[in-house]
Homo-oligomer: A and B are copies of this chain.
């Protein structure tokens, strides 16, 4: 059931690191969230009038998007995988927002010295003479994973809060839980199984399929969100560089640049004449390079006569309409 209203809703995580990172992403993408009363669970994005921001817990976001109470949500993939259900009502329109990375792992006591892999759990179960008890907040994803490893009889115990203590107090034999740095595991004398990664998660952008199909305003918001987010994520990995190039003509300089791997890229440089006091011929070359190829680019520019390389930051890089948007349209057309 889509909410009975023309207002478009975007749900964000209500607290913790995910909240901060989501707000920062939106702000960087020119979509600053205005939240004057921190005790209210609503906010607005002044540059997207008609859109209301709602703060919810990461898991509840998935449920709200599925039920159509909200149209869009930013939350962790772990929650989406666990709660989106089988009916296709939740559609993931951006699968990798670049923050909130963690993994869902199978975790056993350090004291289980012989148990290192999922396969070893069969032996453990045999030794106990009863199904293993697994405490988890992710019973769906965990059960699927255990089934894939031939462990069908495991008993899952739905739990909230701190799971790390469960094996110690006999509440469960082992757990599956999210892990970021591993420090908490070590402090509680637990360890990950070597092949026990159930899924790798990061923040994603999801939407309610019905909203997108029936409400043109929602489709417009989806497009704007995707355009800006994609252009911003692309920009984060690139810089713009200007170099002074000595040479007789723009063409000859370009030819020299084409001999190089990074600066002779797909498109070619912009070349503008530099007027010098002494009448020498110089050109200013402008191009975009990936940050992790910057050192290489500097070396190549020097190699072909470049100097005075100025690096400037970029905020967005808009290419053609984003592939994520086209994928979304395709997926909507499929049913």
**A interface residues (Cβ-Cβ under 8 A, vs B):** 1, 3-4, 9, 14, 30, 36-37, 39-42, 47, 54-57, 59-60, 63-64, 67-70, 159-162, 164-165, 168-171, 181, 183-184, 186-188, 224, 227, 231, 235, 239-240, 242, 244, 250-251, 253-254, 258, 264, 266-277, 282, 284, 286, 288, 291-292, 294-295, 298, 302, 307-321
* Chain B positions within 8 Å of A224 at CB level: 295
Are B268 and A254 closer than 8 Å at their CB atoms? no
State A60–B60 Cα separation when bound (angstroms).
Answer: 20
* Chain B positions within 8 Å of A188 at CB level: 40-41
Are A169 and B70 closer than 8 Å at their CB atoms? yes
State A258–B275 Cα separation when bound (angstroms).
Answer: 10
Are A316 and B310 closer than 8 Å at their CB atoms? yes
Are B319 and A310 closer than 8 Å at their CB atoms? no
Given contacts A56-B161, A312-B314, 20 further A-B contacts (CB under 8 A): A1-B170, A41-B165, A42-B168, A47-B291, A54-B169, A56-B162, A57-B162, A64-B169, A67-B171, A186-B186, A227-B298, A239-B315, A250-B273, A251-B275, A267-B308, A268-B282, A269-B275, A288-B310, A308-B319, A313-B315
Are B282 and A161 closer than 8 Å at their CB atoms? no
CB-nearest residue of chain B relative to A7? B169
* Chain B positions within 8 Å of A308 at CB level: 267, 288, 317-319
- Given the known interface contacts A42-B168, A311-B231, A315-B313, the answer about A183 and B37 at a Cβ–Cβ threshold of 8 Å is yes
Are B311 and A318 closer than 8 Å at their CB atoms? yes
A291 → chain B, closest Cβ, in Å? 7
* Chain B positions within 8 Å of A315 at CB level: 239, 311-313
State A240–B295 Cα separation when bound (angstroms).
Answer: 21
Of B64, B276, B277, the contact of A171 (CB 8 Å cutoff)? B64
* Chain B positions within 8 Å of A39 at CB level: 183-184, 187
CB-nearest residue of chain B relative to A295? B224
Are A307 and B320 closer than 8 Å at their CB atoms? yes
State A313–B28 Cα separation when bound (angstroms).
Answer: 11
A38 → chain B, closest Cβ, in Å? 10
Are A273 and B275 closer than 8 Å at their CB atoms? no
State A1–B317 Cα separation when bound (angstroms).
Answer: 50
State A217–B107 Cα separation when bound (angstroms).
Answer: 33
CB-nearest residue of chain B relative to A313? B315
A232 → chain B, closest Cβ, in Å? 9
* Chain B positions within 8 Å of A284 at CB level: 270, 286
Are B319 and A307 closer than 8 Å at their CB atoms? yes
Are A181 and B275 closer than 8 Å at their CB atoms? no
